[in-house]
Amino acid sequence: MLAGYYSLMLAFPLFVFGQVGGGLPKQIVPCKGVDCTICDLATLAQNIINTGVFIFIFFSAMMFAYAGFLKLTNEALGEQAKANAIFSNVALGLIVLLAAWLVVDTLMKSVLGGDFGPWNDICRAVGI
């Protein structure tokens, strides 16, 4: 019975990533064999960044749920402090991750001429 709940919990993010144009990439490495170009390197970097952000956000939600469980079920002061520390550490990690992503994204878009589309379209921006 519990195995069904755990498998549902692990499969649920697949339904969340069903929006158009978003979610995890179908493949991380965009090229096969020796046909790789500099454009594929930029796409690879974007795929790695997007996958890392999605995975980190999923695990941070799990950590928030765990910290909430500790906060609600334990009345001892030591466990309350542990839950508060988990909350603050995960929130700080999310802020640092999203701020770093925003800085890199803005920097890459401004370097490529100020066009605020996906920055991994470097080939289209420089005419390759």
Instruction: Specify the pTM.
Output: 0.64
pLDDT at 2 over 60: no
pLDDT score for 20: 47
When pLDDT is cut at 50, 70 and 90, the band that residue 122 belongs to is low
Q: End-to-end distance of the chain based on CA atoms, in angstroms?
A: 55
Total domains, the chain: 1
Domain range holding 95? 39-128
Radius of gyration of the chain (CA): 20
**Token code pair at residue 100:** 């770093």
- Indicate whether 33 belongs to any domain: no
- Indicate whether 23 belongs to any domain: no
When pLDDT is cut at 50, 70 and 90, the band that residue 89 belongs to is very high
- Indicate whether 64 belongs to any domain: yes
Q: In angstroms, rounded to a whole number, what is the distance separating the alpha carbons of residues 78 and 56?
A: 27
- Indicate whether 11 belongs to any domain: no
Q: What is the pLDDT of residues 53-64, one digit of tens each?
A: 888 989 999 999
- Indicate whether 34 belongs to any domain: no
